[in-house]
Structure 1
Amino acid sequence: MDASSAARPSLTDYLDASIEVLRKTRDTLPPALVAEAVDRVVTALGQGRPLLVCGNGGSASDAQHITGELVGRFLKERRALKAICLSSNAAVLTAWANDYSYESVFARQVEAYAEAGGVLLGLSTSGNSPNVVAAFETARQLGMTTVALTGEGGGKLAALSDVLLAVPSRHTPLIQQAHICLYHHLCEEVEARLAGV
């Protein structure tokens, strides 16, 4: 075993760290806050208003995952829900970023798809992603509810979020793992409440 591999955590260490972040999330994130996020999304989608979702990198994949579960299905057969991923339209993203700025790629799409009473869900492990922050600013101006999934403290998104779901960690992969648990729970609850609507 070389020195570099000896310094890296084992799988057991990594899983233990993951479990610890999930435990801290369970113990510090108020269930009422998660329930409020669910309520906001249910109200919007139940009224035919959109859920817009955005993030960068791994969080872009999470944004796609969330909208895939809601447009398609999570566990139940039901109607499609109006969930739109702002991170997945390559033509919009690259054209706008090339001609204007990457910082405004999500805000521009919020401008296109926003409806008052809808929800913007943003994922940013730091809470400081400039394009997610700009999208939240635009969404609030247009009368949308803002829900953020972040890491510890919430960064700049804390002040722009109607509902802040901040995982108590500063380690990006562990935050993203907790985000998956949180949004899977959100998808299951939203689906259960809207399945018969």
Structure 2
Amino acid sequence: MTSEIRAAILDSAATLERMAEDAGCLAAIAGTVDLSVAALRAGGKLLFCGNGGSAADAQHWAGELVARFHYDRPGLAAVALTTDSSIMTAVGNDYGYDRIFARQVEALGAPGDVLFAITTSGRSPNILAAVAAAKAKGMAVAGFTGAAGGELAALCDLCLRVPATSTPLIQEAHEVAGHMICAMIERRMFPRA
């Protein structure tokens, strides 16, 4: 069993190493930080959406920004669109599951805000609908997906395409990128002396 564990750890490390050497990945992370900081400094907010494990990432990253990451500082305006079961079930019932995030973007988003759209395949219909709604509102979109990119890659202002095709490996890399983004936003918004 330990050989399987070691192999899984090495697979994850190899994905992160490929990401670290991929100029497109590095630029997407840095650009997402820049977009986010500009939005927050202008009084805007960050909206996060994803399904399944990506929904957990959306909640995790929003929580890191609203609460704290490395140190105490004022909260940052970040909202996970995956957490309100009453809204999600009302929209799902009245408009269909594909609209659960788009409707919230229409209601909560504003020009200059940033949507974090997380989908390992790049093909999730409800994420693509949220991206379309964000674009219609004049929002920027930071996408997070896998190597293929799906339809999402072409629709985003910036898109982190993890150099992997395995969903778990993509999710693991998204989590590392999300932590880096939260840390860098925190440092840029509230530098420590």
**TM-score, normalised via structure 2 length:** 0.94
For 1:25, the equivalent position in structure 2 comes to 19
Deviation of 1:33 after TM superposition, in Å, equals 2.9
What SS is found at the alignment partner of 1:154? coil
Match of 1:11 among 5, 8, 12: 5
For 2:96, the equivalent position in structure 1 comes to 101
Deviation of 1:29 after TM superposition, in Å, equals 4.1
Deviations 1:70-122 (A, max 9, x none): 00000121111110100111111111112220001100000011110110001
Q: 2:43 aligned with 1:48, yes or no?
A: yes
Q: Percent identity?
A: 44
Match of 1:77 among 68, 72, 78: 72
Instruction: Choose 1 or 2 for highest CA Rg.
Output: 1
Is contact 2:148–2:165 with CA below 8 Å preserved after alignment? no
Gapped regions of structure 1 (runs ≥ 5): none
For 1:183, the equivalent position in structure 2 comes to 178
Q: How far apart, in 1, do the equivalents of 2:126 and 2:62 lie?
A: 19
Equivalent residue letter for 2:172: Q
Match of 1:153 among 148, 157, 178: 148
What SS is found at the alignment partner of 2:100? helix
What SS is found at the alignment partner of 1:134? helix
Deviation of 1:126 after TM superposition, in Å, equals 0.3
Shift in CA distance, 130/29, structure 1 to aligned 2, threshold 3 Å: farther
Q: How far apart, in 2, do the equivalents of 1:99 and 1:164 lie?
A: 31
